[in-house]
A and B are shown apart, each in its own frame.
Chain A
C-alpha cells in the first residue's frame, strides 16, 4: 500500500493540490480531500479496453491493435483537406505541445473546449486586458467576493473553501465572517443560497446591468432607468456603494456571462467595470475555468502560436479568427472533412448540428472513456488518464502552473505516445 500526498486533482480549474491517494496493487483504493467530482474522476470507471474501428458509423466496432488504429487515424488525417483537432482540456500541456505540432504538420485547425466555455473571455481580453491575481491573493486579502453567472457549489466545489469564500488568509483571519459574498445570477443557485446578497437578473440582461453599474460608478446614476434587467435601480446603487467600500474585491465569472446573448461583450463590459473600480479600491476579476487544464491549453497555444485557441494552420502559419476558425463554426459550415477529438467530448457538448457534421465525416477519438463522441467515431484509441496515470503540467484557472503526479501505472499508452506515432506516420504518408 502506498500513500501519495500533495497529489493534484485532474478535474476542474481549481486544480486542488492537497489530495491524498491510497494505492494498492496499482489500484486507487481511497481518495482524501477531493470533492465528490474529484473522487469520481480519480477513481475512474470502466475503460475502453482496446482500440476499435468501424467504417460504417451505424455498424459495430471491431477491436484492433494500436498499430492498426494509428495507421487508420494517420491515413484519415493525412488525406483530409480541412482537419479539425479538438478537445485537449482534460489532457496535460505535454499533450498540447504534440497536438499543436500535429496541427502544423497537417495544416489543421486546432481548437479546445474553451470554445464552448471561456473562449469569449479571451475575446474580451483582446479588447480590454484582464486585471487579475492568483487565487491566494484573494484568500489572503479579499473582503468582498462576487460570483457572477458562476456556480462554484456545483462546478468548482472546493473553490469557496480553498480560495474564496471560506478561506482564511493573512489579512483575513476570519475567513467567511471576514468577507461579504454577492451572487449575481438568473436563478437562485445553491451558491446564491449561501450569499449575503443575491441579485437576480433577467436572463440575458447582464450587459445592461453591468452598463448600469458602470454609469452609477461614474456618477451618472441619473441616466439609469428605474429597473434594469429586472433589478431595481436602488439595489444597483446600493451595490455600487458596497463594491466601492471593499478593500479588496474579487469577481469570479462563469458561463452565465460567456454563453448568454451578448457573449464576449458581457465580459468586455465586466472587465471595464473592474478596471474602473480600481480607481476607488483594489479589484480583480477571474474566469472560472472548467476543465483542470483548459487554461494550460490556452497558455501553450499562445506561446507556440501567439493565439490561445481556434488556430488555423491551413496557411502554414497560425491564423486565428473565432467565428471563422472555431470548432463549431467549421463544423456548421461543413468545412471540416475529418476530425480528431481528444481529451474532450464534442459529441456530448456541441450543439446537435455540429454533432451531425461529425457523424458525416471520419472521426478519430482519443480518450480513456466511451462517450457520445465514441458513438460518431470511426477510430477509437483508448489512452492513459492524464493526471492519474500520467504526470505532467497543468495550469490552474488563475494561470498558476503545477506538476501533476502519477498515482498509478497506466494500463494504456499515453496521449503523447499516440500523437507522436500519428505525427510520424502522417509525415511519412505525406512524403516529407
Chain B
C-alpha cells in the first residue's frame, strides 16, 4: 500500500528510511522508526525502556541535508526526512564511534565472561577494524564489590550509563553514578556500599559489555553452550516469564523473557537468583524414605505408595488432612482435589500463610490488571510491602507515582519505598488496622453512609483522625478513581477478615478497585481447584497429615502446625526438600519435583494462566508430583487417574472456571487483647519459599534478613536489654532466640520478628502478644 500525504494522521509524519517510506510518530526518534521496521542501527546506550542519553554515538545515521551524521536515538523525525543507515557517511560515522569506544576497552574477549553474548563484541565484528591503530596504554579502573549478585569488571565499561539510568528510573535506588569526568569517568557506587535494589540483576542484562555480569554464573559457561527453556517464576504471584539457560539439563542462570503484560523486560533478583536454591544439596530428597522406629530407610516408590495407600484406606476420610504449598502446578492441585474427593475428605487447605479463618472462604479479588496499576491516580496500600511481595507490582506502583499518582500506605512499619508516600500511616498490628478504621470513619461521616452488622458496630468505636480526614475527602471526590492494594501483611493478620471487610466497604463507597496480593505463585490455581476449607483445619485432629510442596517455614503458624504433625499418626511429605524440622515430624517422604523441574500450568494473581516446561533435571528418583498422584490414585483404585502425560492433564485444568471473588462475610470482629509487645511477623523478601531460602547468592545479599527482633528505640528502656543482646522472645510459653535491634521505623510497642526462618519456628503469626526476656541458654 502506498501512503499519500493527505492520509497521514495528525500525530504522524512521513519519513523515508533507506528508500522505504514509512510513517513515524511525531516527536519520536529515528531509532524508534528503524526499530519498528526491523532496520538495524547499532547502539549501546539506547534502550527502549530507559531515557535517552545519547552518549555512545554508535547509532550514527545519515540524514539528508544534515551537515554531519546524526545519532538516531536522539534525533526526532521530521516530515519528509530522508534517512540512510548504510550510506558511506552513516557507516563511517559508526566505524569512527566504534574506534573511539575501543580506545580504552580491553581486547581480551576470550577471558571476559560476556564473550559470545556481548553487544560490543558483536558490533565490533561488524564495524570495527581488524587491527587496532591504538598503540598507547589503555586505562584501567578498579573493580568494586557490588555484593553477591552482580560482578563488576569496570575496565570494560563504555560509560553508556544504562545501569545508572536503570537504577535511577526503574529501580529508583540510584546506587550507581558516573564519578569523575572526561576520560577519567568511571561508574561506581557512592561509597562502595553495594546495590540495595530488589531488581539489581537487570543491570547485568542492560550492560552491553562485560562490565557487569552475573556473579553466581561467572565463568560457569559460554553463551553458545547454553540451551534456553521458557519458564515461569515460582517466587511470587506474577509468574514472571523467564528463560532458563541450561547445560546438560542443569539450570545455570535465569534471564527475563519479555512479556509486556507481566514483567516487561525485567526480572526481580528473587526470580533471577532463586534457582540457585535448586543446586543446594542440603535437605534435598532424592529417594522415597520411610521412618521406622526413629530411623530413616530408603524404600522403592512402589513400597512407598503402597504404605501410603494402605494407610489412607484404613483411615476415616475426615481424619486425612492436606496442606498444599502455594507454588505447585494446577495439574497437581487438580489431582489432589480429585484424590480428596474420592477419599471423601474436605480437610484440605492451601492458605498456609493465613491465620484468620473466621469467615467462609473467599477468593482473592483483583479488579485491576497488572499493566493498568501503572495508570492509577490514587493507590492505597493496605498491609503490604509490595516491593518485597511482588517486586514487579511495586515497579508498576512506582510508574504510577512517576506519572503523578498519590500513594498512601497503612501498615505495621515504615517500609523503605522507592517512591514518596503521601501518608505513611503506621502503628503496631492492632493500631494500624484502627487507623484504617479512621479512614472509614471519615468516609462514613462525610458521606453519611454506614456499614451495618459487625463492621458497623466496630466502626462506631473507632475515631476520626485529622491527617487521614484529608485523604477521605480526596477519595470521596471520586474523580480520579482509587485502587486499594491489600497485601500479604493483611493476609497474615489475625484480623484479616476485618481488614478485607473494611476495604471492600470503603471501595464500594468510593467506587474504588481492590487488588489483593496473593502469597504464592499458584495460589489462584489452588483456589480454582477448591483446595480450601471454610474452617482452620489445623484446629481439627487428623490421623494422617499430607504436606505437599511446603516446609514448616512456609506456614504463618509454624508452631501450631508442628503441634498438629506431632499429634498425628502419620505425616507424609511430598516435596523436593525436607529439613530437620520437618523430618523430625514426618514418617514418609516422597521426593517430588519443584517447578523448574516439572511441567505444568500456573494461574497468576491477575488471572493469567501460563505454562512452564521442564528446564532442570531433578536428582535421583524424584518424580513430578502429578505422576506420583496419578499412580497413587490408581493404587487406591480411584477413577479418572489415567493420564498419559501432563498435557492431557493440562487440557482439563485449562477448562477450570475462573474465580469470582465474593464480598467478605464478617460475622464478628476478632477482638484481640495484647499483653506485652505486639508482634509483627515480618516476611523477608528471601525467606518466602524453599528455593530462595536455600539460594546462597540471595542469602548473602543485602536484603537478606537475620535472626533479629526489632523494636522501637523508645521501648528499649522498658525492655531492659541493649541492642545486640541475645534475647528470648516468649510467645505463649514458646521461645525464639533472637538478637535485639532497634529501628525508628518500627512503631512503639511493636516487636518485629523475621518469619520463615529456622529461628522463628516457635512463633505463630496469629498470636500477637510477645515479650522479650533474658536468653534461655
The reply to whether chain A is a binding partner of chain B is: no
Binding site for A on B (CB under 8 A): none
Interface residues of A (CB under 8 A from B): none
